[in-house]
Amino acid sequence: MVKNYLKMKYYIHVFLQKYNEALVDDALSSSLKSKLKSIANHHEQKAMILRSKLN
């Protein structure tokens, strides 16, 4: 049960990371791009932590 919960959280963070990276390409201002990159980086770090817990 816990493993399924962690797996779900992992996939959500991966999805949000890729979503924010896609938004960076379409962002017009540099401040918005930097904020989106920061958010994508946060989700990438969370996904890596969850991946290590799954193994």
Q: How far apart are CA 1 and CA 45, in angstroms?
A: 23
User: In 3D, which of 48, 43, 37, 52 has the Cα closest to residue 16?
Assistant: 43
Q: What is the mean pLDDT of the chain?
A: 96
Q: How far apart are CA 19 and CA 13, in angstroms?
A: 10
Please count the other Cβ atoms lying within 10 Å of the Cβ belonging to residue 13. Answer: 20
Backbone φ/ψ region at 29: left (φ over 0), alpha (ψ -120 to 50), beta? beta
Q: Looking at the 3D structure of the chain, how many domains does it have?
A: 1
| Domain ranges, residue 26 | 2-54
Say whether pTM exceeds 0.95. no
Cβ contact 40:21 at 8 Å: yes
pLDDT digits (tens, 9 = 90+) for 3-16: 999 999 999 999 99
